[in-house]
Structure 1
Amino acid sequence: MAMRKILIFHIILFLICILSACKSVEDNRMPQNELSQGIETSSVNSTTLNPVRESSIDKGIDYNLKPLTERKNVYRIGIGDSILVSVWKHPELGTDGISAARGGTIVEEDGSIFLPLIGRVKVASLTIGEAREKLAKAYSKYVKNPQVVVSIQSYESKRFYILGEIRNAGAYTIKFPISLRQALSLAGGLLPLADLERAYIIRNGRILPIDFVSLVEKGDDRFDIEIIDDDFIFIPKKGEENVYVLGEVKSPGIVKMVNGKMNLLSAIASRGDFTIFAVKDNVKIIRGPLNSPKVITVNLGKLSNKAQEGNISNFELKPGDIVYVPDTAIGRLDKILQKIAPVLRTINEGLQPFYIYDLIRNTR
């Protein structure tokens, strides 16, 4: 109970910080006499702004992304699932022998279930068939040729989350192998303003190289991957004039653009400015779809000083840009995305009221 209250408090505090910061963006903009016109990336001196580099996720990483049709269509038992077990002619040995009212037995944190006579047996990660064989072998020590039936009473172990421009955003239980296209359909389908170019999936702290445009509009089944436990799918809204400022700033989060405009220095200032650990000469701006973005590297130490002197133009951001202030001289795109993925997920979850309710309801 105490842990739930602490979690609720931190979630509410996080939302208040985001909303307060977004509201004060306009007041935090730097005086215009300290800034001048935006600059084109193709014509900036390399000592100030490195050339735009067309980047893609490291091809050496094995994301194990295969269309669902290429995977075995089986469900594996997980922690929290409720399992029904019966032994033919021996009802006292199955789950009915534990509690007639409850019916099933829950897979515990160690992956095991408890059954009469044979005690605890680990079944997590097994298929129904594998669990049946394992239980039959255990019962064979006491029953001649036991006929065991195993089924799942309720699916509770695996969930995925889909937020943004989808008709029924929320958390969904995985009851059977499900593909990305099926997940979108299960959530009611895309809304008219869904921005597929900027949609993304976060899995195990990484942004997956999924092309939503090719999947949805062109029917490219290569991207119809299997959705697994804890996948986070986010569909942005077209026309939203926001940028993200993440990393070594005092209050990472969303910055609302003013009339479609926001410069780099103002965006960082609106999130409380740099922390003492910020590496200012290696600030990254991630632009475009996250499956194949451009990465702009800015030497912000020199840029901010010259901007205040009126000797250099400040860099203008575009809607959807992600500004990442590192604490090290990070270079590879996959490493950058790995660092920002958990923060993006936290921010976008925090802005969804249903998600807070679901999180609180399922916190034990």
Structure 2
Amino acid sequence: MRFNADSATPAQTQDGTSVDVNGQHYVLRPLTVAGVNAVTAAPVRPVVDEPAEDVMQSGIGYQYKVGVGDVLHVIVWDHPELNNPGIGAQSGSAIQTGSAQTLAAQAVASSNGGDALGRVVQADGTIYYPYIGTLRVKGKTVPEIRAALTTGIARYVRAPQLDVSVVSFRSQKVYVTGEVKQPEVVPLTDVPVNVADAIGLAGGVTPEADLSGATLTRGKKQISIDLYRLLYLGDMRNNIRLVDGDIVDIPNRRIKKVFVMGEIAKPASLPMPTDGPYTLAEALNDAGGLNPLTSNARQLYLVRASGLNTTTVFHLDCSSPVAVALADQVVLSPRDIIYVDAASVTRFSRVISQMLPFAGGLADLKSLGM
């Protein structure tokens, strides 16, 4: 196996030598000190720009908006008959013993769209409350619901003292998937939930997590999140406040690998680190370096998919120490392929080694008179 640009008809372009092989377009570019900036590491996923107020972590001014399935608890002081009708008026002993009166009260509350703790927001976004009737609460905050109930009850109760609270948050949730210890569905409550909160509730990340490749999917948009900068460098710009339906996904490090092939001491697929850039020199060193007996140091290639049906091949002459220093400035991208060609004498030696057994067989046949 070797790279040979002469295997097809090359065309000289401004970007380098252009070759088309089997429907794939290749561009061969020499890697020099002047052209090292052309080798830029492409992001694994695109970063989607969003307004700062929509994604930042601050909880200032945050108010929970009630949704379908939430359970509201309404208390009207000095009027127990309005506190889930029939339940608030029962004695504690009756509730504990499950008396017939209590069971009847629970049945009445259920028939009115509530449960033993409060009022369940129905599928149409409403609750039923005595004297007021049907009240739409979906999309409203607790203070707004309190004001609406107070206005409605004031027609029957003088100066009502009323309080509303959400006793069960069931309408809104976010999802944490991927390399976390316990993938979790996290309910949203009256306390804002950020990315770090959600990951903590999922038990934290696993050792195989690709921290810099995490994503937040919000509707049809995907936002890149650098968890390494968030968790280890304190970059709170990545601690995005989550909204209903958000999906936080932390991929496996296996996706971010580079491949070192050819005349290398230890050909391998190397996972990229999550704590910074990974250079060509590091990858060569992690693979044991070039094989000093078989490699052609002048023929090192960095192969990178640069578009649909297009591959860019960067050529580096490593026969000089200056070129080795240059390799430390080349930042790799996930799925890059590093290939080192074999020396001419190595190819010749391998051809001879394959011919020797055949020649020996011919000599044996000749000695037998065949």
**Structure 1 length as normaliser, TM-score?**
0.52
CA distance in 1, matches of 2:85, 2:51: 44
Once the 2 structures are TM-superposed, how far is the Cα of residue 210 of structure 1 from its aligned partner? 2.7
Aligned partner of 2:185: which letter?
A: A
Taking a change above 3 Å as real, the CA distance of residues 82 and 58 of structure 1, as seen in their structure-2 partners, is closer
For residues 124-203 of structure 1, what are the structure 2 equivalents within 5 Å? 124-175=138-189, 176-203=191-218
Gaps of 5+ in 1: 1-35, 37-41, 243-258, 262-293, 303-316, 321-364
Does 1:297 find its partner at 2:297? no
CA distance in 2, matches of 1:110, 1:205: 26
Once the 2 structures are TM-superposed, how far is the Cα of residue 93 of structure 1 from its aligned partner? 2.5
8 Å CA contact 1:113–1:123 kept in 2: the answer is yes
Aligned residues: 219
CA distance in 2, matches of 1:113, 1:209: 39
Does 1:45 find its partner at 2:55? no
Structure 2 residue matching 1:234: 3-state secondary structure: strand
Q: Deviations over 1:202-229 (max 9, x none)?
A: 0112101432222122111122121111
Aligned partner of 2:57: which letter?
A: L
For residues 65-76 of structure 1, what are the structure 2 equivalents within 5 Å? 65-69=54-58, 71-76=60-65
Matched residue, 2:236: 221
Once the 2 structures are TM-superposed, how far is the Cα of residue 184 of structure 1 from its aligned partner? 1.1
Aligned partner of 1:95: which letter?
A: N
Matched residue, 1:212: 227
Structure 2 residue matching 1:157: 3-state secondary structure: coil
Once the 2 structures are TM-superposed, how far is the Cα of residue 44 of structure 1 from its aligned partner? 6.8
Taking a change above 3 Å as real, the CA distance of residues 46 and 222 of structure 1, as seen in their structure-2 partners, is farther
CA distance in 1, matches of 2:116, 2:203: 33
CA distance in 2, matches of 1:112, 1:85: 14
CA distance in 2, matches of 1:188, 1:106: 31
Once the 2 structures are TM-superposed, how far is the Cα of residue 80 of structure 1 from its aligned partner? 0.9
Matched residue, 1:238: 253
Q: Which moved more, 1:77-86 or 1:121-130?
A: 121-130
Task: Give % identity.
Answer: 29
Once the 2 structures are TM-superposed, how far is the Cα of residue 161 of structure 1 from its aligned partner? 0.6
CA radius of gyration, larger in: 2
Once the 2 structures are TM-superposed, how far is the Cα of residue 171 of structure 1 from its aligned partner? 1.1
- The CA RMSD measured in Å over matched residues stands at 3.7
Match 2:71 to one of 82, 102, 111:
82
Structure having greater relative contact order (Cα 8 Å, sep ≥ 6)? 1
Task: Please identify which structure carries the higher helix content.
Answer: 1
Aligned partner of 2:109: which letter?
A: S
Aligned partner of 2:241: which letter?
A: E
CA distance in 2, matches of 1:90, 1:104: 16
Structure 1 residue matching 2:199: 3-state secondary structure: helix
CA distance in 1, matches of 2:194, 2:183: 17
8 Å CA contact 1:94–1:116 kept in 2: the answer is no
Taking a change above 3 Å as real, the CA distance of residues 195 and 58 of structure 1, as seen in their structure-2 partners, is closer
CA distance in 1, matches of 2:235, 2:179: 21
Matched residue, 1:112: 126
Q: Deviations over 1:245-273 (max 9, x none)?
A: xxxxxxxxxxxxxx859xxxxxxxxxxxx
Task: Please identify which structure carries the higher strand content.
Answer: 2
Structure 2 residue matching 1:95: 3-state secondary structure: coil
Structure 2 residue matching 1:68: 3-state secondary structure: coil
CA distance in 2, matches of 1:196, 1:117: 55
